[in-house]
Structure 1
Amino acid sequence: MIAFLKHKEEAVSREIIDVQKPAYVKEAELIGFDGIPALHEKAEDIRASQEQFAGYREDGKLLGVISYEKFMHELTICRLVVHPDGFRKGIGRALVQFVIDQNEDAEKIEVVTAEKNSPAVSLYTQAGFVKTKTVKASEGLFLSVFHLYPKRKVEVVHYNEEWARLFREEKDRLKLVLGPEIIDVHHVGSTSIPNMAAKPVIDILIAVKDIAAVNQYDSKMAELGYMPKGENGMIGRRYFQKGGNKRTHHVHIYEGGHPAIERHLVFRDYLTAHPEIANEYASLKKQLAAQYPDNIKPYIQGKNDWIKAAEEKAKRWKKGRNNANGRVVCYNSENEKNGGFTL
């Protein structure tokens, strides 16, 4: 059984040392290096640690321990030790998976182990970690750095009326941070369209007076839980994500007048005005989510052609609504030969 450990308690800290010391003795023998810092730790060092600890128990006895630190959505595994009595029972792999499962929002997980520690290298490799570099720690000791980038789960759910309230609440929080720069704030994306099935992520579009001025608010946005992503592939944008791999909010910021603002708003308004087309889009998303439940990239790619075609129809629909000569003009997608307009 695996559970978090209250390592600040004296009895628990001693249990951890009783697992850790023989485990590191074995590792020191394996790699031919007895200068492992944790090998010389005492129970009081464990109690003073700010790491999060979890342990594996069998018949009440602690046989394995893992600890980690987390900043925003990046996690570092600090130690993974298994008592010799627990060798070859899959305890280390189970502890690593426990940490992954308990931190679904993690975008990056890092771990470092001795290059000669072949059991640990094999464990992390089998768990999906990829070696990124080798570091010389001291004479005769080389460390391997491994990274894991967990894939985002793709979940499309039924429309939730709470999404509008969540937008309003987040809008008020963002105004407290970005207030002096804001021109307007809009709810966009699928959660803004009534009755639309969507990934439960609130997309927020903010028009500001000066896009360059937004950079100074990165630290305050981080205090709200947002990870600053800069332009993130879109010139003239500032993009922020909240929730890591278990995403809850996206914030897209553009300077007033940027064409992307109208593109987002027209797409939203077009689907809101055409429920049958919104249903078509929802069906496509559900199909793609079922096809790629653990891989967001092909899910997004699978929507691209549909979205581009819908955006063109939305532009023509808006042009029809804004026809300058005052006639009643509406868009009819079946009347493509006349530009899509029914007069």
Structure 2
Amino acid sequence: MIESLQHKKDNTAREIIAVQQPAYIKEAELIGFDGIPALQEKTKDIQASHEQFAGYRKDGKLIGVISYEKNMHHLTICRLVVHPGGFRKGIGRALLQFVIDQNKDAEKIEVVTAEKNTPAMSLYTQAGFQKAETVEAAEGLLLSVFYLYPKRKVEVVPYNEKWAELFSEEKERLKLVFGPEIIAVHHIGSTSIPNMAAKPIIDILIEVRRIEAVSQYDTQMKAIGYTPKGENGAAGRRYFQKGGNKRTHHLHMYEKGNPAIERHLLLRDYLRAHPAIANEYVNLKKRLAAQHPDSINQYIQGKDDWIKAAEENAKRWKEGGNNADRNVVCYNSENDGNGGLTL
């Protein structure tokens, strides 16, 4: 059984030391290097750590430990140790998967191990990690740096009435950050269209007085969970993501008068006014999500034909010349290069 460990407690810290000491002794023998820093750790060092710990217990006894640190959506595995009595029983793999599953918002997971530690090298490779580089940590000691970039799942869920409430709450947070720079805040994307199934991501469009002023608020945006992405493929825009790999919000910011503002709002209003067309789009999204559950890019590419006709259909509807009822296109910010919406 795997559980989170309260490593600040004396008994738990001693249990962790009792697992990692013999594990690191075996590793030192394997790699021919006895200067592993963790070999010198005492109970007080474990208690003073800022890492998060999890452990594998069998019959109540701790036999495996993993710890990690997390900075925004970048997770670093600090230690993964199994008592020699638990070797080759899948305990290390189970602990690694536990951490991955508990941090679904992680966009990047990093781990470092000795190149001569072949069991660890094999473990990370089989788990999908890619070797990024080799570094020399000490004479005769080479370390391999591995990265894992978890894939985002494509998920289309039924309409949720709480989406409007989530938008309103986030709107107030953003107003506190940007203050008088804001002219207007709009709920856009599929979550803004009643009864439309969507990826559960709140898209927000903010009109500002000066787009050049937005970057000075990046630190405050990070403090409330957003990642600044700059223009991110759309000239004149400032784009932010929240939630990492388990995305919750997209924020698109434009200076007043930018034609993208009208384009996005017009598309939203067009789908609100044409439930039958919106339903066609829902069916397309569900089909693509089922076909490409692990590839957001293929999901997006499957909607290219809609994208080509979107603006023209909405424009004709606005002008009253042709109330187009087919081939509606929706922009999608999941494609970081196209500068669109979560539709």
The bucket for the TM-score relative to the shorter chain is over 0.9
Amino acid at match of 2:194: P
Any stretches of 5+ residues in structure 1 without a counterpart? 321-328, 335-343
Q: Shift in Å at residue 165 of structure 1?
A: 1.2
Q: Shift in Å at residue 311 of structure 1?
A: 2.7
Contact 2:3 2:55 (8 Å CA) reproduced:
yes
1:104 maps onto 2:104 in alignment: yes
2:59 is matched with 59
Distance 1:199 1:114 in 2: 41
> Which deviates the most, 248-257 or 289-298?
289-298
1:132 is matched with 132
1:298 maps onto 2:318 in alignment: no
1:331 is matched with 323
Mapping for residues 14-93 of structure 1, pairs under 5 Å: 14-93=14-93
Q: Shift in Å at residue 304 of structure 1?
A: 2.4
Mapping for residues 226-305 of structure 1, pairs under 5 Å: 226-305=226-305
1:337 is matched with none
Amino acid at match of 1:115: E
**Runs (4+) off by over 3 Å:** none
Amino acid at match of 1:249: H
Distance 2:243 2:48 in 1: 29
Amino acid at match of 1:191: T
Distance 2:156 2:2 in 1: 31
1:126-185 deviation digits (Å, cap 9, x = unpaired): 000001111111111111110001111111111111111111111111011012211111
Distance 1:333 1:180 in 2: 40
Secondary structure of 1:160's aligned partner: coil
Distance 1:25 1:221 in 2: 45
Q: Shift in Å at residue 234 of structure 1?
A: 1.5
Distance 1:305 1:36 in 2: 57
1:339 is matched with none
1:75-102 deviation digits (Å, cap 9, x = unpaired): 0000000100000000000000000000
Secondary structure of 1:98's aligned partner: helix
Q: Shift in Å at residue 333 of structure 1?
A: 4.5
- Structure 1's 333 and 278: CA in aligned 2 closer, same or farther, altered over 3 A? closer
Distance 1:128 1:22 in 2: 27
Q: Shift in Å at residue 310 of structure 1?
A: 2.6
1:55-81 deviation digits (Å, cap 9, x = unpaired): 001111111000000011110000000
Distance 1:319 1:34 in 2: 77
1:324 is matched with none
> Which deviates the most, 234-243 or 82-91?
234-243
Amino acid at match of 1:88: R
1:216 maps onto 2:216 in alignment: yes
1:338 is matched with none
Output the aligned Cα RMSD: 1.1
May I ask how many residue pairs the two structures share in their alignment? 326
Distance 2:289 2:172 in 1: 32
Q: Shift in Å at residue 330 of structure 1?
A: 5.0
1:172 maps onto 2:172 in alignment: yes
Percent identity reads 76
* TM-score w.r.t. length of structure 2: 0.93
Distance 1:29 1:260 in 2: 62
Contact 2:131 2:144 (8 Å CA) reproduced:
yes
Mapping for residues 305-324 of structure 1, pairs under 5 Å: 305-320=305-320
Distance 2:169 2:24 in 1: 50
Secondary structure of 1:312's aligned partner: helix
Contact 2:218 2:228 (8 Å CA) reproduced:
yes
1:197 maps onto 2:206 in alignment: no
> Which deviates the most, 158-167 or 76-85?
158-167
Distance 1:332 1:238 in 2: 31
> Which deviates the most, 309-318 or 150-159?
309-318
Secondary structure of 1:331's aligned partner: coil
Q: Shift in Å at residue 256 of structure 1?
A: 1.3
Distance 1:86 1:240 in 2: 45
Distance 2:93 2:77 in 1: 13
Distance 2:292 2:322 in 1: 37
1:216-272 deviation digits (Å, cap 9, x = unpaired): 000101111111111112121111111111111110111112221111111101111
* TM-score w.r.t. length of structure 1: 0.93
Amino acid at match of 1:209: R
Distance 1:121 1:49 in 2: 25
Secondary structure of 1:311's aligned partner: helix
Distance 1:296 1:220 in 2: 29
Distance 1:72 1:333 in 2: 43
Distance 1:305 1:231 in 2: 25
Q: Shift in Å at residue 332 of structure 1?
A: 4.0
Amino acid at match of 1:315: K
